[in-house]
Structure 1
């Protein structure tokens, strides 16, 4: 985050990178006004991050200054940035929780609540608004929107944690009388959540908490002096179901008092993350479907909402239904993401109903979010000359990696992967923007090493890991989703702790550490990782009868629920789950037990915990033996599933000669399968990397360029603009199924960056080792990495291979 306003972390980590020369040392000063409160002194290192040594307090505005020494020990100029703390203790809050609703009816969709208050000011400089709510809020001062955070305050396990935001509102205020208006919607708090469509998950009330200060003096708080109304234009709102808006009700005249509430401040945390914002816009093109429906094609599958500009008469109505794809006949459909009977609302309609006022109408939703490329229009308005625009909505995370090559389909694949990430990083990483919108751990674990290269997503992943810590059970069991949004019944509790999903608590922080080099992310999550490993140790004490003869059974994982490889293209997923239930998925579960223990040994050593490091190394060694005994024949593998070769090779479960033999078998298996993959969520990210690292580059490229199902480019051939959940989301006959916007299989882009172009950064150590192939003609990657700009390019010209590499030390300016 750059110049963050409102931090919870009292000792933030500072980072920078240099585009000119090699850094040999740095020095940091932290100042409060003109007073220096902490000095690092000159620190001899090439590391480009450092933890602050000063404990900040509530409201403090601090500047930090850094200068660097180059390789000749010559110091550069000072560079400056700043950060400001939030309200770090309950005593800082004088605001009261207030409820705007006099009555509520559980299970019935409610109108949005509008709250207002007038107040007078003598001065307006250095004004701060601290605000949060139960539900979602949009705040206005003197008719101007406060900030650009969409769906604030964001998603949390509100039983344990509730974010508030801090805004600089000085430009929106004036001396004399001012008015503040806040609109509250249902959001995650009491709207519909997850695939089950559970509502009122956290409570029945909407409530507001806000406090405004000018030069640290409180000038406005939420209290009994506010007025409220439910007679405004937003008549219904829900993240999944949509919004109903009556523009004829925009002038509110019916106001009543508010009710003080006593929710306290214990769960409040300042938002140590980035805002969710409106991003790219796509102009829609209207056309008529074969069945006569009027449809809009926005050209890009995304997460967001539609803005409309229409000329109409009062009372005319526009209904918009949003979907990801067309059916086999070219008509509108939502069948692919229909959640089925388990959804308490009968589906996820993604519906907007807009009742027009007389004249020009401009509207976009406040409290909903859809996954869509297409919209169906039902209206009595004459649409000639009217406009519909899709607005992408996702967390602020600038794109940092770029890739182009001589194959346009591969370029589109990279584009699709980036867009599925954008569509699913809305405050936290989610699986899809339609039927679930849930923080599945397995998806994040598979994609994180790619995601940390594609965008600067550190704050989003760090915030989500905090949710994972809250979702962890007392015995260390990791929930498969965070924040939790299921019914918590006996059945849902059984479906937790899956291998590859639970291990996200280790794999995601490790991926972040490798990319950013910041040990703080390991330290912050170490207790969660340790407790997960303790849970796995306990689970391994039980062994199924068929595995009792394993000499290392104490490290064999054959108990509990497991998704397994998940969504392999020619495997029935329900059959796989039943088999996993009967057998315990020991191949997947034991491999991940080894992998997490191996990483934990390294993490413990990095954090200066030698006793733990030795403990986890021993666990890893025993788990490796248990895996080899159960899942191999003295290191040999006999399987027709590609994942059962990829996984042990990628994790290091085989000896050197065994690894090469397994890679050769994998190569043969891919060829026997007509140069098609048959991997699922867990091993697909490593498939091509394993092949290129063991002498089978030709096969890896043939897999990349395959365009019949199952393959990455099959979806491109079918017109996809995002990554599908399954390999055949649109079947050859045109029928559609499952989500069209899941980022997991987009992890192939990690291979394009770190293998095709060879850029690998591991905790600040950069190597570049490209694997070129004539089939692409050329490939070029650029990564604006945490250590600076890195470029790697190769191309074939006249049967000659030309390489060009540029690293941060070859550039010439300092950047923070």
Structure 2
């Protein structure tokens, strides 16, 4: 293991390395942690990342972005300058010699996405870096612990292999076996390090000397293969042996080779074809020479034991066809066939930079029922996304069938009714036993959403240990948490968190049981939930690139991204607005200015395309609208031009803001003019100035979404804003404190009510336990979000999904208004803290791991109308804190008046600006307990 691998495995300046010349031996010299030697008040840089990842392999960005976080023991700690050193060895870096790039002292507070600005980087080269900072007083820090990155293959010329595969196979008896490929090679010198670069379409699993390479599954993520094909880099240094070695790969179909016919026509995609592999193993010897083992015509292939695989239909595995040792040395492959050269996908090869999909959690079954003789139904106790681990024994040739479902039929068997996936088979695995003892297996090239697994084909009653559920999703780190005195709110948050996580599968794979595709509206409505709860920077950036790949030359965007060609003709500005919204949220949440720079022109072309499709009255049109409102609606009953035009207005606002950030000043007047004209037409058409409501000619007394959208996007004229909010709140009250919004309206309803002073109305909606509400789902057994407010609405040949994150958009309300944490400036450089405490809650807490570090807020009501607010702000950030206090309340911080000498700048009223640090504000009042609920029956809850 060389110095780079030691860095990647956590060896830091606490274990400084001196490499013996010409060997991989290392002398470890321990010393005290850097923090212990730092004077009180100094900044400590740490958590170094390259392209938002810790010590990544296979970086193919010509100018990687470098980021770090800062810690300090003092309040108000800020960076005033930084210096970055980049070197080709850790030894040189430790000696402060930068043979690649020395940024010099840069007088800047920036610590997020600093562009590497040295000489061109070389493919395969390892780089090491560290950073030193100066604080606001000019005091210099110690150097950070080192970090590193390694470049991948940078151009087509770096690839020497060929795309190979089994070739086209005639599917018979429902089979299309996953091919196995193998090759042996010899190492004749001591190895310094080895990397394998592998691109498989659709999926691949790689083995080296009989061991699995890496822990990725469903790898690599899907793309528009005519535009972009992802490759993955693995460090395989420790898996190699002196002398002869063996490589093997198994190929799954994924979306690329899908043979299951679906409503989205994946099998008709221009890029559709049989699985194929491009691989390059590069071994660097200690003497500096290299061996390259690439896919070529020397590889051999055969059909593997996976006889059928489909993302939608499931898998068939015949254990009788297993060839033991097929990826090891001395395996006799005489009866295998030569591989076939395959046409390369048309897309360019790009490193997969986001977190891979992995198996993350194993869940035991909680019960087994037998609704019919020989039919056993395992209940996993909660809804999962992934597959089951099977442990079984039986006679050779016995066929065990596993059917996965979220719901049961009245007779206790699983409900697999659906109308999207054709051919009959759906979410079903088959395992054929080899016989002779205990056998274990799990699927590898499909994904299911399920709580129940129906098992048939057993010759005896099973025990609970026969099946275990496996959670499978993109392995993004959790970055947020919320809790409160409301048991119901905590349940809702947990339900949202699980549902959002289940849908992170290389794309926002909406409706992970029935659809598994990147519906644009579902994801744009829940981008804040993704960005708050998980470290989805790289995940969302990849999906943003999928938009660029999917865009037509005219600027059009499909309804699903990626797409095999489906969804381009439908009109849906509310859906397709995901392109500008995700771009802007990447900048707003993560400070990703490159997202703006790379996609501004594409978003501009998209918006111009939408503007060119306005109807004769100058309004945007849609085939969709406020989707799945209560009352059995799929499409809304009102004129959906209202929501379509509102979203197009929002697109123009985002573009104007992006132009300002990028210095595209010449674009701003035209964008603002278009927005102003669209707003005027919107209000002329839909605003009833006498009644203070937004209405359309087809309204059946339905308008919560109409008013809420107008308020949320700033379309209501200022003089009408409060009246529109008043009417919205009145409509909620008239419905017994219930919403009547679909997906679009629900995403903005609680925030606009809260901002307009109707915190009590927002709480009444969120705290409901009767239809339609999140509490209604929970009362009916939900543990993940459901697709429709109704329990049984179908209209699509299937029951509504019980794992669908469309209505997960409530979660930002918990974080950003109940706890009050918002990004007041991009990348949380300035943080807004303004909790809304009126209402039934006695306390609430939230934390977010931002790109600058962790922000925490905890508030609780104290006797006689008082409040305690505890806040933690990370170094190199400031916060504007607005306390929800009444005139005449006494405000203290840490028991003392909040004054500038204590690092607190009063901004007037109950607002204060603070730097980093820990703060405890209290407000005392003699006016009685604040925030009482007028009718506690409207919010029945456990506290």
TM-score (norm 1): 0.91
Q: Deviations over 1:458-512 (max 9, x none)?
A: 11111111111111111111111111135x5xxx5421x4111111111111112
Q: Deviations over 1:118-137 (max 9, x none)?
A: 11112332101011123211
The structure-2 alpha-carbon separation of the partners of 1:714 and 1:632, relative to structure 1 and needing over 3 Å to count, comes to same
Q: Quick one: distance in 1 between partners of 2:868 and 2:595?
A: 39
Could you say which residue in structure 1 is the equivalent of 2:455?
A: 377
- Unaligned 5+ runs, structure 1: 548-552
1:167-186 to structure 2, matched below 5 A, reads 167-186=234-253
Offset of 1:798 from its aligned partner? 3.5
The structure-2 alpha-carbon separation of the partners of 1:713 and 1:622, relative to structure 1 and needing over 3 Å to count, comes to same
Offset of 1:622 from its aligned partner? 1.2
Could you say which residue in structure 1 is the equivalent of 2:39?
A: none
Could you say which residue in structure 1 is the equivalent of 2:267?
A: 199
- Does structure 1 residue 601 correspond to structure 2 residue 683? no
Offset of 1:574 from its aligned partner? 5.1
1:749-788 to structure 2, matched below 5 A, reads 749-761=811-823, 762-763=825-826, 764-788=829-853
- Does structure 1 residue 41 correspond to structure 2 residue 104? yes
Q: Which has the higher contact order (CA 8 A, sep 6+)?
A: 1
- Does structure 1 residue 53 correspond to structure 2 residue 111? no
Q: 2:431 aligns with which of 353, 362, 367?
A: 353
The structure-2 alpha-carbon separation of the partners of 1:284 and 1:384, relative to structure 1 and needing over 3 Å to count, comes to closer
Q: Kindly indicate whether the alpha-carbon contact (under 8 Å) linking 1:123 and 1:214 is maintained by their aligned counterparts in 2.
A: no
Offset of 1:667 from its aligned partner? 0.7
1:216-365 to structure 2, matched below 5 A, reads 217-230=290-303, 232-251=304-323, 254-263=335-344, 267-288=348-369, 290-291=371-372, 293-328=375-410, 330-335=412-417, 338-340=418-420, 343-346=421-424, 348-365=426-443
Q: Kindly indicate whether the alpha-carbon contact (under 8 Å) linking 1:565 and 1:588 is maintained by their aligned counterparts in 2.
A: yes
Q: Deviations over 1:668-713 (max 9, x none)?
A: 1101111111111112121111111111011111111101111111
3-state DSSP class of the match of 1:775? Answer: coil
3-state DSSP class of the match of 1:36? Answer: coil
- Does structure 1 residue 590 correspond to structure 2 residue 645? yes
Offset of 1:313 from its aligned partner? 3.4
Q: Quick one: distance in 2 between partners of 1:106 and 1:679?
A: 48
Q: Quick one: distance in 1 between partners of 2:626 and 2:467?
A: 41
Could you say which residue in structure 1 is the equivalent of 2:601?
A: 527
3-state DSSP class of the match of 1:278? Answer: strand
1:528-567 to structure 2, matched below 5 A, reads 528-540=602-614, 542-543=615-616, 547=617, 553=618, 556-558=619-621, 561-567=622-628
The structure-2 alpha-carbon separation of the partners of 1:766 and 1:102, relative to structure 1 and needing over 3 Å to count, comes to closer
3-state DSSP class of the match of 2:693? Answer: coil
- Unaligned 5+ runs, structure 2: 1-52, 93-97, 325-332, 696-701, 876-915, 919-943
Q: 1:789 aligns with which of 830, 833, 854?
A: 854
Q: 1:691 aligns with which of 753, 761, 765?
A: 753
3-state DSSP class of the match of 1:333? Answer: coil
Could you say which residue in structure 1 is the equivalent of 2:483?
A: 404
Could you say which residue in structure 2 is the equivalent of 1:494?
A: 569
1:443-522 to structure 2, matched below 5 A, reads 443-486=522-565, 488=566, 492-495=567-570, 497-522=571-596
3-state DSSP class of the match of 2:540? Answer: helix
Q: Deviations over 1:515-560 (max 9, x none)?
A: 11221111111121110111122113x41xxx3xxxxx3xx324xx
Q: Deviations over 1:165-208 (max 9, x none)?
A: 11110011111111111111211111137544643743332222
Could you say which residue in structure 2 is the equivalent of 1:550?
A: none
The structure-2 alpha-carbon separation of the partners of 1:592 and 1:264, relative to structure 1 and needing over 3 Å to count, comes to closer
Q: Quick one: distance in 1 between partners of 2:777 and 2:732?
A: 19
3-state DSSP class of the match of 2:731? Answer: helix
3-state DSSP class of the match of 1:524? Answer: helix
3-state DSSP class of the match of 1:110? Answer: coil
Q: Kindly indicate whether the alpha-carbon contact (under 8 Å) linking 1:792 and 1:806 is maintained by their aligned counterparts in 2.
A: yes
The structure-2 alpha-carbon separation of the partners of 1:569 and 1:285, relative to structure 1 and needing over 3 Å to count, comes to same
Q: Deviations over 1:544-586 (max 9, x none)?
A: xxx3xxxxx3xx324xx4311111112522575xx76xxxx32
- Backbone CA RMSD of aligned residues: 2.3
Q: 2:684 aligns with which of 617, 626, 629?
A: 629
Q: Whose radius of gyration is greater, 1 or 2?
A: 2
Q: Which moved more, 1:251-260 or 1:707-716?
A: 251-260
Q: Kindly indicate whether the alpha-carbon contact (under 8 Å) linking 1:15 and 1:48 is maintained by their aligned counterparts in 2.
A: yes
Q: Quick one: distance in 2 between partners of 1:681 and 1:31?
A: 51
TM-score (norm 2): 0.79
Q: 2:78 aligns with which of 13, 22, 30?
A: 22
Could you say which residue in structure 2 is the equivalent of 1:701?
A: 763
3-state DSSP class of the match of 2:744? Answer: coil
Could you say which residue in structure 2 is the equivalent of 1:75?
A: 140
The structure-2 alpha-carbon separation of the partners of 1:52 and 1:803, relative to structure 1 and needing over 3 Å to count, comes to same
Q: Quick one: distance in 2 between partners of 1:265 and 1:60?
A: 27
Could you say which residue in structure 2 is the equivalent of 1:212?
A: 281
Q: Quick one: distance in 1 between partners of 2:859 and 2:456?
A: 51
3-state DSSP class of the match of 1:805? Answer: strand
Could you say which residue in structure 1 is the equivalent of 2:208?
A: 141
Q: Deviations over 1:362-419 (max 9, x none)?
A: 1111211111111111132432464311111111210100011122222121111111
Q: Quick one: distance in 2 between partners of 1:24 and 1:153?
A: 41
The structure-2 alpha-carbon separation of the partners of 1:652 and 1:443, relative to structure 1 and needing over 3 Å to count, comes to same
Q: Quick one: distance in 2 between partners of 1:102 and 1:119?
A: 27
Q: Kindly indicate whether the alpha-carbon contact (under 8 Å) linking 1:309 and 1:387 is maintained by their aligned counterparts in 2.
A: yes
